Every structure is written in structure tokens, then in C-alpha cells.
């Protein structure tokens, strides 16, 4: 029995080859992800300025997180932004994917067009949106004006800073569109036909057939959108905290990662910034666990457990 369970020569060779092939990723993970994470955990218990060696300060950085009102402010801003972007990003990406699904022969062209913004540097996109969303002379408000709508001062009115960030972030939903499109293409045609024969209308078919069948893709993107929203940095930094903008930046646009960056590289508080990073990691972990627990009740996995 024991003899038979031992892997054969071929299996051992294949296993060895497999390890060789995955070794670059494992090494990369240890060097560039796990190592820095462990280092930052240690740094979070030190007073480290990047210049002098860190001095161990126990949990002082974590205590300071509680005492610093800007940490709470930036965290609240980040939650509000995530609460806007995740549903909006999901809905817009799904709507565009459904349009693409119906396009037919030109789908390849439009897929490329919708994905291209993902390739645009965040700095360029941020600068472009600053002009587009300018409250006085921006194109967005000019277009709204044609319909008699007076647009807000998107980039300067504190009440509109987070909504404008959410709108700008829609620029990068191309990846989700591609995922949804693949999921929509995998929905069996016969299910739609059966629903049609039963007299179901378009809305009913979408709710009862399409949504359950693409729920796996939706679930995945909601989780990744949430993580990305909690780690929002590029657009917020470019639009409001770059060299030209930071002198006029409002606290309403201060997202968590920007404040973390300021502490690390402007105020020399790398230990405190590391503590901020770990708190964010735990927050994202808790949110993701909740999402997985709740999501598993609604997600349909093809070939998965039927419990």
C-alpha cells in the first residue's frame, strides 16, 4: 500500500519542474511582498525616520492613530469614496459589458476602446479630469449646461470632492468590463430561451437568469473594487496633492493612503505610516471576510457545491 502511494520517477520530475517554474513567483513574493510586509509590521512598533535606525516604541504608533484626528478623517473619506465607487463602478462596468455583449462584429474594437483607459497613466488621467471637471470652464459642466443643469464645482467644492474622485475612478473600469463580458458570453443561451418561453420579459430575464449566472464574476469584481477603493491613491494624489495642488487641498479629499504617504515621506514618520498600513490591511481583511461570507449565499459557482 505504502509502495503504491509513493510518487513515481516521472511524478517527482514533474513536481521538481513545477517548483522550478513557480520559483520566480515564490521568490518574488517573498522578496517584494512578504518580506516588506514583515518588515513594515516590525517598523510599526518603532519610531523610524528613514534616516536613523528605528527606536522601539511599543504600541505608541497605534495609540497615536487613535489620537490623530486626521487619521479618522482620512479613513471616513475613504469609506465614503468606496461606498460611492464600488456600486457605481460595478453598475457602469456591467452596463457597458451588456452593451458590448450585444454589439456583435464590432465587439473587438469596442473592447479595445473600453480597455485603453486602463493603460493610461493615472497622472495623465488625473490632470485631464482636473480640466474636464473644472467648475467654471470644464467640458462636463458645459455639457450639463446645454441641458439646463448647473454643474457643481467638482474639484473645489468640499462636498463634491469625493463624488468627483468616484467619477474619475470610472475611467479604469475597463478590466471589470472584460471580466463581465466573458461571464455574459458564458451564460447558456438555452436558459434565456427557456425563460422567454415561460413569458419572462427582459428585466425578469436579467434578474433571474443573467445576474445569477454572472454572480461569480460580480462577486470577484466587488471584492477587488472594494480593495482598490480602500487603497485609492493615484487619482487623489494627482488631482489634489501633487506639487501644484497640495497647497490648496481640502481635508475632504484626504484619503487614507495619501495621508499615509504624507506621514512616511513628508513628515519622516515611517513607523507611524507602517502602523497605518497594517490597520488598513486589517480593515480590508475584515471587509473581505464579511463580503465572502455574505457573498457565498448569493453566488452561483458552476460545478461547485450544491449545499
Partner 1 sequence: MRSKFVVMAAAVGLLAGCAGVGGGSGDAGAGGGTAGGGTPQGSLKIMGFGGEDEVGQSRVNAFKQAYGGVKVSNAKGDFDAQQFLTALASGNPPDLVYMDRNLIGTYAKKGAIVPLEDCISKQQIDTSQYREAAMRSVTLADKVYGIPEFYIVTTNLVDAKSLKAAGVPTSEIQTKDWAALKATTAKLFKKNGNKLERIGFDPKLPEFFPLWATANGATIVKEDGAPNLNDPKAVEALEYTIGLVNGQGGWTTFKSFRDAFDIFGEKNPLSAGSVVAFPMENWYVNVLRDFIGSGLQLDSTPFTDHDGKPVSMVGGSAWAIPKGSKNPDAACAWAKTMTDKATWMKAADARIAKVKQDKSFFTGLFTANKPADEEIRAKYLTDVPDAGFKRAIDNFYSTLDDAVALNPSPAGAEIDAAWRSGVTRALGGQPAQQALDQAQKEAQAAFTKASGNG
- Nearer Cβ to partner 1, position 37 or 131? 131
> Is 222:214 a contact under the CB 8 Å cutoff?
no
- Nearer Cβ to partner 1, position 156 or 208? 156
Nearest to 118 by CA among 133, 96, 103: 96
Give 34's DSSP letter: I
Q: Give the nearest distance from C-beta 114 to partner 1 in angstroms.
A: 29
Cell digits of residue 101: 455583449
Q: Give the nearest distance from C-beta 133 to partner 1 in angstroms.
A: 9
Nearest to 133 by CA among 239, 31, 224: 239
d(CA 289, CA 143): 42
- Nearer Cβ to partner 1, position 9 or 197? 9
- Nearer Cβ to partner 1, position 193 or 266? 266
Cα 255 to Cα 188, 246, 280: the distances in Å are 42, 13, 12
Q: Give the nearest distance from C-beta 169 to partner 1 in angstroms.
A: 20
Q: Give the nearest distance from C-beta 105 to partner 1 in angstroms.
A: 42
d(CA 24, CA 159): 47
- Nearer Cβ to partner 1, position 39 or 289? 39
Write out the residues near partner 1 by the rule CB under 8 A. Answer: 13, 16-17, 20, 49-52, 130-131, 134-138, 150, 153, 155-158, 243, 246-252, 261-262, 264-268
- Nearer Cβ to partner 1, position 58 or 243? 243
Q: Give the nearest distance from C-beta 243 to partner 1 in angstroms.
A: 7
Q: Give the nearest distance from C-beta 110 to partner 1 in angstroms.
A: 32
d(CA 278, CA 62): 10
- Nearer Cβ to partner 1, position 205 or 269? 269
> Is 229:82 a contact under the CB 8 Å cutoff?
yes
Q: Are strands 46-47 and 55-56 parallel, antiparallel or unpaired?
A: antiparallel
- Nearer Cβ to partner 1, position 21 or 189? 21
Nearest to 255 by CA among 231, 227, 281, 279: 231
- Nearer Cβ to partner 1, position 193 or 251? 251
d(CA 273, CA 259): 8
> Is 74:252 a contact under the CB 8 Å cutoff?
no
Nearest to 133 by CA among 159, 160, 115: 160
d(CA 71, CA 77): 10
d(CA 175, CA 89): 11
Q: Give the nearest distance from C-beta 3 to partner 1 in angstroms.
A: 25
Q: Give the nearest distance from C-beta 279 to partner 1 in angstroms.
A: 20
Q: Give the nearest distance from C-beta 163 to partner 1 in angstroms.
A: 14
Amino acid at each position: 500500500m505504502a509502495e503504491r502511494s509513493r510518487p513515481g520517477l516521472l511524478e517527482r520530475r514533474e513536481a521538481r519542474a513545477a517548483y522550478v517554474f513557480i520559483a520566480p513567483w515564490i521568490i518574488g513574493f517573498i522578496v517584494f511582498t512578504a518580506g516588506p510586509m514583515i518588515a513594515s509590521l516590525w517598523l510599526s512598533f518603532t519610531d523610524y525616520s528613514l534616516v536613523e535606525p528605528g527606536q522601539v516604541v511599543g504600541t505608541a504608533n497605534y495609540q497615536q492613530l487613535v489620537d490623530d484626528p486626521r487619521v479618522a478623517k482620512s479613513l471616513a473619506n475613504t469609506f465614503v469614496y468606496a461606498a460611492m465607487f464600488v456600486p457605481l463602478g460595478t453598475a457602469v462596468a456591467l452596463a457597458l459589458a451588456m452593451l458590448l455583449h450585444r454589439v456583435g462584429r464590432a465587439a473587438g474594437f469596442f473592447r479595445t476602446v473600453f480597455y485603453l483607459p486602463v493603460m493610461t497613466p493615472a497622472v495623465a488621467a488625473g490632470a485631464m479630469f482636473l480640466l474636464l471637471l473644472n467648475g467654471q470652464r470644464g467640458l462636463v459642466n458645459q455639457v450639463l449646461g446645454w441641458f439646463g443643469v448647473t454643474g457643481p464645482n467638482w474639484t473645489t467644492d468640499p462636498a463634491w470632492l469625493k463624488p468627483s474622485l468616484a467619477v474619475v475612478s470610472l475611467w479604469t473600469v475597463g478590466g471589470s468590463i472584460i471580466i463581465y463580458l466573458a461571464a455574459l458570453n458564458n451564460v447558456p443561451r438555452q436558459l434565456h430561451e427557456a425563460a422567454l418561453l415561460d413569458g419572462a420579459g427582459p428585466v425578469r430575464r436579467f434578474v433571474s437568469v443573467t445576474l445569477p449566472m454572472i454572480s461569480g464574476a460580480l462577486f470577484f469584481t466587488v471584492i477587488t473594487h472594494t480593495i482598490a477603493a480602500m487603497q485609492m491613491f493615484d487619482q487623489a494624489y494627482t488631482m489634489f496633492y501633487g506639487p501644484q495642488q497640495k497647497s490648496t487641498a481640502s481635508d475632504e479629499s484626504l484619503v487614507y493612503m495619501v495621508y499615509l504617504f504624507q506621514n512616511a515621506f513628508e513628515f519622516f514618520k515611517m513607523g507611524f505610516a507602517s502602523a497605518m498600513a497594517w490597520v488598513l490591511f486589517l480593515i480590508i481583511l475584515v471587509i473581505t471576510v464579511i463580503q465572502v461570507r455574505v457573498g457565498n449565499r448569493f453566488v452561483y459557482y458552476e460545478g461547485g457545491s450544491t449545499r
